[in-house]
Amino acid sequence: MTSAKRISAKTMPTKTMPTRTMPAGTMRLTRRSVLAGALASTICAPAIAQNAPRVVVIGGGFAGAGFARALKRLANNTNVTLVETHRTFTACPFSNHVIAGLRELSAQQFTYEKVAADGVTMAFEPAIAVDAGSRTVTLRSGTPLMYDRLVIAPGIGFNWSALPGYDEAASKIMPHAWHAGEQTELLRRQLEAMEDGGTVLMAVPDNPMRCPPGAYERASLIAWYLKTKKPRSKIIVLDAKDQFSMQRLFQNAWKALYPGQIEWISLSNGGKINSVDAKTRSLIGDFDTYKGTVINVIPPQRAGTIAQIAGVTDRTGWCPVDPITFESKIAPNVHVLGDATLVGTMPKSAFGAFAQAQICAAAIARLLANATPDRPKLINTCYSMAAPDYGISVAGVYQPVGNDYLEVEGAGGNSPLDAPQATRALEAKYAHGLFNTLTGETFG
């Protein structure tokens, strides 16, 4: 306990609330001062009671930051601390536009001032340990954070060992650009530097992966860039799958917009990449070795590292959760949100992460008040762009069934195959609207 003092159990006002940390400089509390604090909190409504429940959130993306703000809105008496390494968040949705030169990375970046202004305490450093027994998160500085409920929303991590030859160093040569930021700009610069007539390779992993249609949106927008700027070039998508999200919609768009410029090689046709060689810029599959001028490797994924450290992942590398509360099926009082979870057939998307965050905030507000959470329904909507003015979408409504989430039958599905261009343009506009709204709700 370096920067915080602990209230001893004897001075705690009730038996049910666990020991918690106090800000540095807080005096050791006597029973009387605790009582005075409780009195003050009942008189001054905005004041936070000394014995307010503590919720710690690890990860400040659409799930984590969205959750933190939603919980403050629903249960303002709660002390919410958001632990996030970076002071700037770089959003993945629309980062394919940055790669294709349609948008600057700065349009993807958001800060946490408004989150903090809602009363969320920001801790800008990595969490390095979680002890579910003592309900403590330890930050890199050694600062412990005690919690009544912990929410882990770390997004994805890469399962480097699943793709021999690919590691951090290789990603500087063959970028993944599957965490938005430096990698996004690196891939863009490589495309800009490529001479006309070059070949772009993309390696796409099997599901589960972050943003299942995102790889095909990327292929589309890279093709758009090539068609516009480097018309003798082409892109080859090497896929570890035989089927993919919105496949017919994408393939129809490719045929219409980029004839001969996109080639998709499925699992059955040898598209699965088993290893890579950064030195020779090669991707090695079952039958063939592929060489390209620019190579984008999207590696196999799993839940973010802190989820592994916290011990809330299962053999799949992802986090199983209760469908009503998103509480981990492995560790009590720990909830997991967003891309790190496996929530039925729900795709790993920013919208889904945000929607889960709202449900989890309502559930935790109920749990902290000793009430029973309601059975939720979740909506997911994902837009993808086959060209800047050509939007398509997949939507779904999900509900808890038994121990899992299932899609409500008869609802959801993809944009129609035969829609006119006006509909595609409208969906492209709505995609921008969704991005602006989601980022506004989360960070604005």
Partner 1 sequence: MVRSRTLLILPFVLAAAGGASAADAPRGASSCTGCHTSRAGIEDALASLKGRKASEIAEAMLAFKEGGKPATVMNRIAKGFSDAEITAMADWFAEQQP
Residues that bind partner 1 (CB under 8 A): 13-14, 35, 38-39, 41-42, 49, 51-53, 70, 74-77, 351, 354-355, 358-359, 361-362, 365-366, 368-371, 373-381, 393, 395-397, 408, 410-413, 415, 423, 426-427, 429-430, 432-434, 436-438, 440-441, 444
Residue 325 phi/psi, 5-degree rounding, is: -110, -10
Nearer to partner 1, 301 or 380 (CB): 380
> Which residues does 182 contact at the CB level (< 8 Å), separation at least 6?
none
**Whole-angstrom distance, CA of residue 84 vs CA of residue 59:** 5
Instruction: Please report how close the Cβ of residue 194 comes to partner 1 at its closest, in angstroms.
Output: 32
Instruction: Please report how close the Cβ of residue 406 comes to partner 1 at its closest, in angstroms.
Output: 11
Tokens representing 420 are 């006119």
Nearer to partner 1, 340 or 365 (CB): 365
Q: Beta strands 234-239 and 109-111: pairing type?
A: unpaired
Instruction: Please report how close the Cβ of residue 343 comes to partner 1 at its closest, in angstroms.
Output: 13
Q: Which of 222, 253, 254 is nearest to 235 (CA)?
A: 222
How many CB atoms lie under 10 A from the CB of residue 344?
17
Nearer to partner 1, 157 or 352 (CB): 352
CA trace torsion 171, 177, 180, 185 (10° rounding): 90
Cα Rg of the chain, angstroms = 24
Nearer to partner 1, 216 or 383 (CB): 383
Instruction: Please report how close the Cβ of residue 71 comes to partner 1 at its closest, in angstroms.
Output: 9
Nearer to partner 1, 259 or 410 (CB): 410
Instruction: Please report how close the Cβ of residue 371 comes to partner 1 at its closest, in angstroms.
Output: 5
Nearer to partner 1, 313 or 358 (CB): 358
Nearer to partner 1, 320 or 412 (CB): 412
**Whole-angstrom distance, CA of residue 400 vs CA of residue 391:** 30
Instruction: Please report how close the Cβ of residue 373 comes to partner 1 at its closest, in angstroms.
Output: 8
> Which residues does 414 contact at the CB level (< 8 Å), separation at least 6?
246, 249, 392, 393, 394
Instruction: Please report how close the Cβ of residue 147 comes to partner 1 at its closest, in angstroms.
Output: 16
Q: Which of 170, 158, 94 is nearest to 384 (CA)?
A: 94
CA trace torsion 99, 102, 106, 112 (10° rounding): -90
